[in-house]
Amino acid sequence: MIACGCAVCTSSNPKDNRLRSSILVQSATTSFVVDTTPDFRQQMLRINNRKLDAVLFTHPHKDHIAGLDDIRAYNYFQQKPMDVYANSLTTEALIREFAYAFSEKKYPGVPEINLVTIDESPFVIGDIPVTPIVAWHYKMPVFGFRFGNFTYITDANKIDENERQKITGSEIMVLNALRKEPHVSHFTLDEAIQVVGELKVPQAYFTHVSHQLGKHDDINDELPLHIRLAYDGLQLSI
Ligand SMILES: [Zn+2]
Ligand SMILES: [Zn+2]
Ligand SMILES: [Zn+2]
């Protein structure tokens, strides 16, 4: 957190040093990100990610979309527009907030975006099947996504019963857990632990963690062994 001197923000443990939340999903032939955070450029540079086939968005909050302009590099090297999948609430926000990329007369070099409005119907990107899962972020519907046996849900504090059925059978789930104190639009640590238990997912990682939660190693020590805090650079194979 900018301008914060707390124990997490001043920690020397790299796992306490977090960029904004997103994931890169890769198969042998397909590669896409879920959300382009304000740190997207740094995240792609950090791992020298050379190929990106698509972007999926969870919801239109700035900490999840602000980095979209930087897909320009992939436009340049891949010589084609970027496929961007999002619900209508998010596509409207993208057109509003990146108006220069959608205007009639575009300045040369602006990001080239192929917007695909999605609903709850499953679809496929390359060889990766995608099932959208609707969750609630206070009163905003957000998309989580299931890819095979892996489910990713960030920025939510409620998942309805019928949507929970779409998660059942996942082997690994990533879920948001902001802090211990109640929050209007994010699961607390206890609420997230409860959801993992209710869904009977055998392995879970918590993301979108605030500096207010406490130090990574301390919180991990408090958690049951099948639940761990995620950290920047964490890689999972499924
Ligand atoms: Zn802090
Ligand atoms: Zn949000
Ligand atoms: Zn967020």
Closest ligand, as measured to the CA of 2: 1
Instruction: For residue 210, report the distance from its CA to the centre of ligand 1, in Å.
Output: 8
Listed residues: CB within 5 A of ion ligand 2 = 61, 155
Using alpha carbons, select from 112, 152, 169 the residue that is nearest to residue 25: 152
Ligand 2 centroid to residue 143 C-alpha, Å: 11
Distance 123 CA to ligand 2 centre (A): 24
Q: Are 211 and 1 in contact (CB under 8 A)?
A: yes
Q: Say if residues 207 and 183 touch (Cβ distance below 8 Å).
A: no
Q: State the pLDDT at residue 93.
A: 98
**For the chain, which residues score pLDDT lower than 70?**
none
Of the listed ligands, the closest to the CA of 210 is: 1
Distance CA 167, CA 153 (A): 10
- Which residues place a Cβ less than 5 A from the ion ligand 3? 63, 155
In DSSP terms, 131 is beta-bridged to 146
Q: What is the pLDDT of residue 2?
A: 97
Ligand located closest to 137 CA: 2
Please give the Cα distance from 125 to 86 (Å, whole number): 13
3-class secondary structure for the chain?
A: CCCCCCCCCCCCCHHHCCCCCCEEEECCCCEEEECCCCCHHHHHHHCCCCCCCEEECCCCCHHHHHHHHHHHHHHHHHCCCEEEEECHHHHHHHHHHCHHHCCCCCCCCCCCEEEEECCCCCEEECCEEEEEEEEEECCEEEEEEEECCEEEECCCCECCHHHHHHHCCCCEEEEECCCCCCCCCCCCHHHHHHHHHHHCCCEEEEECCCHHHCCHHHHHHHCCCCEEECCCCCCCCC
CA–centroid distance, residue 3 to ligand 3 (Å): 19
Ligand number with the minimum distance to the CA of 18: 1
Ligand with the closest atom to the CA of 17: 1
Ligand 3 mean position to 225 CA, how many Å?
Answer: 26
Burial class of 184 by CB neighbour count within 10 A (0 to 12, 13 to 18, 19+): exposed
Centroid of ligand 1 to alpha carbon of 16 (angstroms)? 10
Q: How far is the CA of 61 from the centre of ligand 3 (A)?
A: 6
CA of 186 to the centre of ligand 2 (A): 8
Separation of CA 147 and ligand 3 centre (Å)? 21
Task: Please give the pLDDT value at position 72.
Answer: 98
CA distances from 28 to 21, 25, 232 (A): 24, 11, 22
Question: Cα 168 to chain center, whole Å?
Answer: 20
Neighbours of ion ligand 1 (CB under 5 A): 1, 4, 6, 9, 211
